[in-house]
Chain A
């Protein structure tokens, strides 16, 4: 079983729609969760992190965490073509492994005009 799982996509949404990206993780003790965006040929860029159950909003982005279900999601409102990229979910197990990130395989998002 993979430690961090994402739908590889591609996920295609029209401009202006809401894009919903999902991630599940296997380590119940994981403490913090990250969403990175990676454009082709570029390094990952941190979008958001979340460590408490519930929602966290930053502009057009909302991260949602449900530790009981071991599930984290990212919603992108009013999607733009510039949001087209690979979105990577990453999990930090915490404790003695603090800072180490385990990544999912990424979801390719395409926003079409």
Chain B
């Protein structure tokens, strides 16, 4: 399976600021996704990162709050904008190569104070 890295691994941010999370894969992948895992909860899909075009967002998530870039087949970024304490979560990228299998990065633990 692909090796996935995320930066930063964790951060503590003040409300009103923005944080950009990077996801890097060691091989080209067809699909990249961004998920959120709120404290004590399961995973919720934020959006599909599309290479060379705008991301596809799930219901309840908007581009102004979670802008996403995917400039190539191995890299994507998720920005959490104008943060509030409710944005405190673990943010995970996942990748798939077009088969059934999908793998997760190590996650970014975000705390907003």
Contact = CB atoms under 8 A, between A and B. Distances in A.
Decide whether A and B are members of one complex: yes
Interface of A: 32, 34, 36, 42-46, 49, 51, 88, 90, 92, 99-106
B43 A99 contact: no
Q: Is the interface of B mostly helix, strand, loop or mixed?
A: strand
Nearest to B92: A43
Given A88-B43, A106-B42, A101 B105 contact: no
Contacts of A34: 100, 102
Contacts, number: 49
Nearest to B106: A43
A78 B100 CA distance: 27
A19 B3 CA distance: 30
Interface of B: 1, 31, 33, 41-45, 48, 58, 90, 92, 94, 96, 100-107
21 contacts: A34-B100, A36-B104, A43-B92, A43-B105, A43-B107, A44-B43, A44-B104, A45-B104, A46-B101, A46-B102, A49-B100, A90-B43, A99-B48, A100-B33, A100-B58, A101-B33, A101-B94, A102-B45, A103-B43, A105-B41, A105-B42
B104 to A, nearest CB: 4
Name the residue among B31, B94, B102 with the largest chain A CB count within 10 angstroms. B102
B32 to A, nearest CB: 9
Contact of B96 (A36, A45, A99, A103): A99
A88 B90 CA distance: 16
A88 to B, nearest CB: 6
B42 A104 contact: yes
Given A43-B107, A92-B100, A99-B31, 10 more contacts: A34-B100, A42-B106, A43-B106, A46-B103, A88-B42, A99-B96, A100-B45, A103-B43, A104-B42, A105-B41
B61 to A, nearest CB: 13
Contacts of B58: 100
Given A44-B43, A100-B48, A104-B42, A32 B104 contact: no
